Structure formats: C-alpha cells, structure tokens
Amino acid sequence: MVENGAINAHYTSRTSIKGVSDDYGQEINAWIERHLFYPDEAIRNGEEGPSSVHVVLDRTGRVRSVYETNSSGSYYLDAATTGMFHGAQLPPVPPDMSGDHFDIDVTVKYILIRR
C-alpha cells in the first residue's frame, strides 16, 4: 500500500442513508461525497469496512448530535465517519418535511481496491 513513502491505494465508498425522503437523501449523499475521505492511517493498515452513525439535524441542516451505531473495527474509519458530521452544516431540510428535528442513519462502506 505504501510505495516510496507515498500511499498507493485506490479506494471507493458507498453510502446508504435512511430516515429522510429520497430527494433529500440524495442531497445529503452529495454533501457526504464532498466531505468524505479515507484516512491515510487506515489505508496504510489495509483497513476497510462499514461504519454507521446516527445523526440528528435541525431544520436548517445543522448537526445537533452524532453517535456511532456500528463500528467498522477501525478507529480511523469510525473517527472519519463521525468526525465528518461533528458541528457540520448539511443542506437545509425541504419545507415539505414536517418536524423540528430529523434523525438520519448513515452507513459508509470503506473499500480498498487492490490491484
């Protein structure tokens, strides 16, 4: 995975989101794709797997709380998933969704592509 001191690993991720409308879920997924990263330490260690969090948003999209619901088994991957949401501002909740807070469940599947 490390070649001449540089990380030489390709990776991908797949995200699943539950708890909101499909349209808003697509907006959240686009936000995640812009903010997601695969930690260098996890790449060096060959770590991969699904990491799940529960996130509570207010109407403005501000994250009010986030906690891990399923560990990938990697401290670095779990920290990347939860850290992405701490204090974050996601897209505002669409007006057609009622309520003052919104619970979403997010699973990020970290996958190293081995060649």
Alpha carbon distance 24, 19 (integer Å):
10
Question: Is the full-model pTM beyond 0.95?
Answer: no
Residue 60: how many other CB atoms lie within 10 Å: 10
pLDDT 10s per residue in the chain (115 long)?
434 344 444 455 456 666 667 788 888 888 988 998 899 999 999 999 999 999 999 999 999 999 999 999 999 999 999 999 999 999 998 888 888 888 888 889 898 887 6
Residue with tokens 């990491």: 51
The CA–CA distances, whole Å, from 14 to 2, 23, 46, 62 equal 24, 17, 17, 23
Phi-psi region of 73 (alpha: psi -120 to 50; beta: other; left: phi over 0): left
